[in-house]
Amino acid sequence: MEITIPRLIIASYKGKNGKTTATLALSYALIRAGLKVSLFKVGPDYIDPSYHLAVTNTLSRNLDYVLMGDKVISRFYKYSLNSDIAIVEGVSGLYDSIDGISEVGSTAQIAKLLKAPIVLVINGERINRTVRAIIRGLKDFDSDVRIAGAVVTNVNQRQLEKLRIAVEDEGLIFLGYIPRNDDLESIMQYRHLGLIHAEEINKQRLIEVFKDVSKFIDIDKVVRVAREYSEPLEVRNYVSLDTSKIISNEVRVGILGGRVFTFYYPETIERIQTFTNNIKFIDPEVDQELGDLDLLLIGGGFPEVYGESLERNRSLKSDIRRFIDSGKHLYAECGGLMYLTDSIIYNNEEYEMVGAIDAITIMHRKPMWYGYARARVIRDSVIGDAGTVLMGHEFHYSSLILRGNYEFVIKYERGVGIHGFDGFQINNAYAHYLHIHPDTYDVIGRMLRRILINKARS
């Protein structure tokens, strides 16, 4: 089976150069031209895909070789099927990798696996002729990586012509530019984990901004580069997953969300939907109770930013404690773990949280861990039997001061967690710092199967 869909990898020579901005501008312009676009993000990121969805109304999928291996090819095929063009946003610099030595985890690796051309994003601020050296070095570094075009971001009209000439003199096709834009800078702002999540900003304003900046993209050239430089790609052992079959609507699942807990992969929701359509989204700032649930999910997010409103909602926090005490199943990651502790200290303020885990969460100015993690389950638990290996990622600026005695469930082989350990299990509730993609290890499916077995026995 061959993939022939035209495709582009949006990459740059370092992070924070405008890859997301360029991805959104190209994607919006393509959709406005009547093309069906599929969107992807290299790596495990939650935040950039939230902008893809907000601007294009298209779910974006992660392509992560570290977590998924060669399955990235079949994932690409599955989620680009029936599209006119696929746009893949890269991560960090083009050749930056998990260890800084090999290509594993890099945008370049994904580009080679997908046989896709690179569109190089160039930050046009305070640079002109040096761009030629950058392009030449990137092209020469790995001849199997095909850099075909370029988009210049953050550029004024005085610099634009110089940069266009530099790009074209190095053999790249100039695909357009994104002018320096105050509205763009004001709405796409950074927080400690990267861009502020799109769920927390004015989406209509965001769309209006990209409606404006996408006018500077040459769609005809973009499509031509994608068509002419994408090579046929063979897909082996592809199995189409039927996500329409419902096992049991008796299972009731709650997902804590709103603007606080936003770190959920689309596949997590889709995996739940193979078990049940009985799904309830709960806003932890507003909703007063969980309702009748069998499983509660609390994903990552920024509970520290919304500490005041979370503290005020004592009714929901009390209901979550009751839910845990009753033996119902709960799964929480990172921000969800922080929410389950006694309190969060952030910017010299302390906010009362759920209190299911006897610990205080402290926010720091520097990350405790920022990247891929590997852990091993060291005792039988609701998430896996002893010996199970978990691959995921940790992105957190917090640490825990434990006040209770806990027997941890997992031990890190790469990563930090809580002094090298992690995983709190209270009855059938489980929480840890680690983020796990469901196509790497199906924690949610395991819990739902446990619930169904228990229901069948009762």
Q: What is the mean pLDDT of each run of 10 residues along the chain (458 residues)?
A: 94 96 98 98 97 97 96 95 98 97 98 98 96 98 98 95 98 98 88 83 94 97 98 78 65 98 97 95 98 98 98 99 98 99 98 98 92 98 98 96 95 97 98 97 96 88
* pLDDT of the residue at 245: 65
pLDDT at 297: 99
Q: What confidence score (pLDDT) does residue 94 get?
A: 99
Task: Report the relative pairing of strands 341-346 and 295-298 from DSSP bridges.
Answer: unpaired
What dotted CATH number matches 2-234? 3.40.50.300
Q: In the annotation, is 334 catalytic?
A: yes
User: What's the pLDDT at 2?
Assistant: 85
- 2-234 and 253-457 agree in CATH topology: yes
Write down the pTM of the prediction: 0.95
C-alpha 429/C-alpha 327 separation (Å) is 7
Task: Write down the domain spans for the chain.
Answer: 2-234, 253-457
pLDDT, position 240: 59
| Catalytic position from the list 111, 233, 305, 334 | 334
pLDDT value of position 317: 99
Q: What is the CATH number of domain 253-457?
A: 3.40.50.880
